[in-house]
Amino acid sequence: MSMTMTPGDEAGAYISGIDLNHVSPSDVESIKAALGNYGVAFFRDQSITSDNHIAFAMHFGDININRFFTPLADYPQIAQVLKEPEHDRNIGENWHTDHSYDQIPALGSILVARELPDSGGDTLFINMFAAYDALSTDLKSKLQGLTATHSSRHVFGAKAWEDEGGSDKTGRLKNSDAATQDAIHPLVIKHPFSGKPALYVNPEFTVKINELGEAEGEALLNEIYTHAQQPQFMHRFEWQAGSVAFWDNRATWHKALNDYAGQRRLMHRITVQGVALHG
Average pLDDT, the chain: 90
Q: How far apart are CA 215 and CA 211, in angstroms?
A: 12
**Annotation says 163 is catalytic:** no
The span from the first CA to the last CA of the chain, in angstroms, equals: 38
Lowest-confidence region among 16-20, 68-72, 127-131: 68-72
Residue 97 identity (one-letter amino acid): T
Give pLDDT, residue 172.
Answer: 42
**Cα dihedral sign, 224-226-229-230:** negative
Of the options 2.60.15.10, 3.40.50.1980, 3.60.130.10, 3.90.1640.10, the CATH number for the domain spanning 4-273: 3.60.130.10
For 30, phi and psi rounded to 5 degrees?
-65, -40
Q: How far apart are CA 22 and CA 6, in angstroms?
A: 21
Question: Does 9 have pLDDT greater than 80?
Answer: no
Q: Is the overall model pTM greater than 0.85, yes or no? A: yes
Element (H, E) at 34: helix 25-38
**Annotation says 269 is catalytic:** yes
With a pLDDT cut of 70, the percent of the chain lying above it is 90
Contacts with 106 (C-beta within 8 Å, 6 or more apart), sequence order: 64, 98, 99, 249, 271, 272, 273, 274
The alpha carbon of residue 46 and the mean position of all alpha carbons in its chain are separated, in whole angstroms, by 20
**Annotation says 44 is catalytic:** no
Question: Does 76 have pLDDT greater than 90?
Answer: yes
Give pLDDT, residue 174.
Answer: 44
Q: How far apart are CA 66 and CA 76, in angstroms?
A: 9
Question: Does 207 have pLDDT greater than 70?
Answer: yes
Lowest-confidence region among 45-49, 114-118, 167-171, 251-255: 167-171
**Annotation says 98 is catalytic:** yes
Give pLDDT, residue 170.
Answer: 52
Q: DSSP 3-state assignment of 21? A: coil
Catalytic residue among 87, 99, 250, 269: 269
Catalytic residue among 96, 185, 250, 268: 96
Q: How far apart are CA 268 and CA 263, in angstroms?
A: 17
Catalytic residue among 27, 87, 98, 172: 98
Give pLDDT, residue 156.
Answer: 56
Better pLDDT: 7 or 267? 267
Give pLDDT, residue 163.
Answer: 47
For 246, phi and psi rounded to 5 degrees?
-120, 100
Q: How far apart are CA 29 and CA 122, in angstroms?
A: 27
Lowest-confidence region among 43-57, 80-94, 224-238: 80-94
* pLDDT mean over 66-81: 88
Residue 176 identity (one-letter amino acid): S
Residue 243 identity (one-letter amino acid): S
DSSP 177: G
235 Rama sector, left if φ>0, alpha if ψ -120 to 50, beta otherwise: beta
Question: Does 151 have pLDDT greater than 70?
Answer: yes
Catalytic residue among 185, 250, 254, 265: 254
* pLDDT mean over 52-72: 91
With a pLDDT cut of 90, the percent of the chain lying above it is 77
Give pLDDT, residue 69.
Answer: 76
